[in-house]
Chain A
């Protein structure tokens, strides 16, 4: 079984630019989550999809962040325009059903300069 795949693994952009992160969940997993770890802080929830629908986006920091999940398969997280405080590691996770343990990808390390 292929795991959760995230692309790119690293991204370095300048303040004001746009970046799009991609996540391919485990096949058949309807639940997809985005989390973020800012340096020195704990991993924090951003949002939760069930298939293509946003179930909970209470953790999204502001309207510069836009997440989509086309057809209930892969997901993208766009940051536009990026700010310095957006730097961190963005993790995607998936699970087959609500309440099941999450399977995490290896993350995308985003650096905004």
Chain B
């Protein structure tokens, strides 16, 4: 059974303090690993898709990387507006996404 574990559950940073979020996964035949951002009361908002080990993608202060067992979301010099819950999901043999519980990030000014 496909499984995703995210850590930490919650992370509190000062503005400008870089850090990383972890997503460990087990999946039969990875077709894609997805990162989403979710704000309170909103639906998940797509950030990145990674397809194979070694792949990296960047968007503003965010950078996602992928190995055969885990993915990292690196946040460089975060700002308060980066505060959100970050969700990781994998797609295996079918179209459905299997999500982790998410990491709630708080960036204090």
Chain A positions near chain B (C-beta within 8 angstroms)? 4, 31, 33, 35, 41-45, 48, 55-56, 58-59, 91, 93, 98-99, 101-107
CA distance A104 to B46 in the complex (A): 8
28 A/B residue pairs, CB under 8 Å, sorted by A: A33-B95, A42-B4, A42-B99, A42-B100, A42-B101, A42-B102, A43-B44, A43-B87, A43-B89, A43-B99, A44-B99, A45-B96, A45-B97, A48-B95, A48-B96, A56-B95, A91-B44, A98-B95, A99-B31, A99-B32, A99-B91, A99-B95, A101-B49, A102-B44, A105-B43, A106-B43, A107-B42, A107-B43
**A98 contact set on B, CB distance < 8 A:** 95
CA distance A99 to B95 in the complex (A): 7
**A31 contact set on B, CB distance < 8 A:** 95
Chain B positions near chain A (C-beta within 8 angstroms)? 4, 31-32, 34, 36, 41-46, 49, 87, 89, 91, 94-102
* Binding site secondary structure of chain B: strand
- In the complex, what's the smallest C-beta–C-beta distance from B28 to chain A, in angstroms? 15
CA distance A104 to B34 in the complex (A): 13
CA distance A44 to B102 in the complex (A): 13
